[in-house]
Amino acid sequence: MRNILIIGAGKSTAQLVKYLLEKAEKEDLYLIIADQVLSNAERLVRNTSRAKAVELNINKIEDRRKQIAEADIVISMLPAFLHNIVAEDCLELAKNLVTASYISDEMLKMDAEVKKKGLVFMNEVGLDPGIDHMSAMRIIDRIRDEGGKIILFESFCGGLLAPESDTNLWNYKFTWNPRNVVLAGQGGAAEFIQEGTYKYIPYHRLFRRTEFLDVENHGRFEAYANRNSLKYRSIYGLDDVLTLYRGTMRRVGFSRAWNLFVQLGMTDDSYNLQHTETMSYREFTNLFLPYSPNDSVELKLRHMLRIDQDDLLWDKLLELDLFNPDKILNLREATPAQCLQHILENKWTLEETDKDMIVMYHKFGFLLNGEQKQIDSTMVIIGENQTYTAMAKTVGLPVAIAALKILNKEITQPGVQLPIAREVYEPILKELEDYGIVFKEHDMPYLGYNPHHL
């Protein structure tokens, strides 16, 4: 029996475990699902002799190394900053590793030793990053095989709500780590290249520089720029591409409303507030507004942000209970971002029967036989419920498939890597199609630059 250690039983682990349990008998697998909170792991273990749940504090070195030593392969579903702890043990104990997270500088420094030991450390093999890499490289390689030259690549992805569960004015609920949503776009300007011209969008302007995208049978979306698109030139072999832009998709109107929080300073995570354990939602909102002995909190906010009372933006703020004097944050010395996250989680948590939706959209502009051409490729996935979400499916399945293929020595190229090699992405994408994760391609007239970017 071959042991697969899965560390972390968060939102995206359910579909991963389901896939591997379905394969367990045939592939002779045994799953050890480890989490700091035992009940999180236990809820993923069904009535099966092929899996067990264990409690694991990742900071307890002996316990962590014992579990890794007994595994044939390790899947880390921990927060990204914890992967390196696991990776160091996997390197020392000669275990292959799979994660869904971006390759960190620390992880990359292990590459030479990982190759020396003949190990596979596969990263960025979830949704975004993951399916975005694989689906993009499949088309990029195909265009190159036909003699074409890529001159434009744009890629967008969003975790959203299925129409039947879209029940709030923001058209949004959390399907991923809420903290990442609140802090999105921080840490530097968004960088991309447009028709050969470098562009930068500072954080305070990020949510007012959006692009519109129409997806067949699913309506119109908007997208704001991801932090650094430029690094994908070398990753995808597009060093001389004229346009390269990556963005996050939301329903139209979300970004304009979210920008209110940015302008107020509510998304700031760099300092701690006082007395947040007894602070009401209304008091929190009032922190960011000027003092006035006569004007209400509502009136001060409307004046400061220039919101008319009949503007839908105002209704969106009211829907979040921001002015409620009775709801208490109950957070000790929290940052503004932590307070905002708490408020949003009370409103944007998926209900048991809610369905989420993943949308991915690629644009490829290229020269072929002297002609400018464009291919648009889209994927839309609807979740089943609060547990088996589209997010869990699109993150967990490719991670599980990659792990099994590494275990079966179908993926053998050693090193710290992401799934951009043909021998890696082709079999994974092919199997994902069996689970309904399919892209639709459309030949389009080449549009060149997009005025929304300039």
Query: Do residues 3 and 38 make contact, with C-beta atoms less than 8 angstroms apart?
Result: no
> Rounded mean pLDDT of 150-179?
94
Please report where in the chains the tokens 């490289």 appear, as a residue: 137
Going from the N-terminus, what domains does the chain have, and what CATH number goes with each? Answer: 2-122 (3.40.50.720), 131-255+352-389+436-444 (3.30.360.10), 258-348 (no CATH)
Query: Do residues 224 and 247 make contact, with C-beta atoms less than 8 angstroms apart?
Result: yes
Query: What is the distance between the alpha carbons of residues 69 and 309, in angstroms, rounded to a whole number?
Result: 62
Instruction: Give the rounded percent of residues in the chain with a pLDDT score beyond 70.
Output: 98
Instruction: Give the rounded percent of residues in the chain with a pLDDT score beyond 90.
Output: 86
Residue 215, CA distances (Å) to 51, 359, 370, 438 in order: 40, 9, 29, 14
Query: What is the distance between the alpha carbons of residues 11 and 396, in angstroms, rounded to a whole number?
Result: 9
- What DSSP line would sit under 222-256, residue for residue? EEEE-SB-TTHHHHTT-TT-SEEEEEEEEETTHHH
Q: Which of 317, 334, 240, 354 is nearest to 278 (CA)?
A: 334
Q: Which pLDDT value is given to residue 448?
A: 66
In the predicted model, is pLDDT for residue 449 greater than 60? no
In the predicted model, is pLDDT for residue 452 greater than 50? no
Reading the block at residue 351, the tokens are: 């209900």
> Rounded mean pLDDT of 146-175?
95
Residue 22, CA distances (Å) to 204, 281, 432 in order: 47, 46, 15
Query: What is the distance between the alpha carbons of residues 20 and 400, in angstroms, rounded to a whole number?
Result: 7
> What does DSSP assign to residue 296?
-
Please enumerate in sequence order all residues whose Cβ is within 8 A of that of 404, keeping only pairs 6 or more positions apart, or say none: 20, 23, 27
Residue 215's SS3 state is strand
Residue 356, CA distances (Å) to 8, 11, 82, 141, 387 in order: 22, 13, 27, 31, 10
In the predicted model, is pLDDT for residue 62 greater than 70? yes
Q: Which of 435, 344, 434, 427 is nearest to 138 (CA)?
A: 427
Angle between helices 131-145 and 422-433 (to 10 degrees): 110
- H-only helix segments in 101-214: 105-108, 111-116, 131-145, 178-182
372-407 pLDDT tens trace: 999 999 999 999 988 889 999 999 999 999 999 999
In the predicted model, is pLDDT for residue 450 greater than 70? no
Query: What is the distance between the alpha carbons of residues 390 and 355, in angstroms, rounded to a whole number?
Result: 8
> Rounded mean pLDDT of 413-435?
96
Query: Do residues 107 and 416 make contact, with C-beta atoms less than 8 angstroms apart?
Result: yes
> In the chain, how long is the greatest CA-to-CA distance?
73
In the predicted model, is pLDDT for residue 330 greater than 60? yes
Asked if the bond preceding 293 is cis, omega within 30° of 0, the reply is no
Q: Which of 237, 242, 233 is nearest to 197 (CA)?
A: 242
Q: Which pLDDT value is given to residue 12?
A: 84
In the predicted model, is pLDDT for residue 447 greater than 90? no
269-312 pLDDT tens trace: 999 999 999 999 999 999 999 999 899 999 999 999 999 988 99
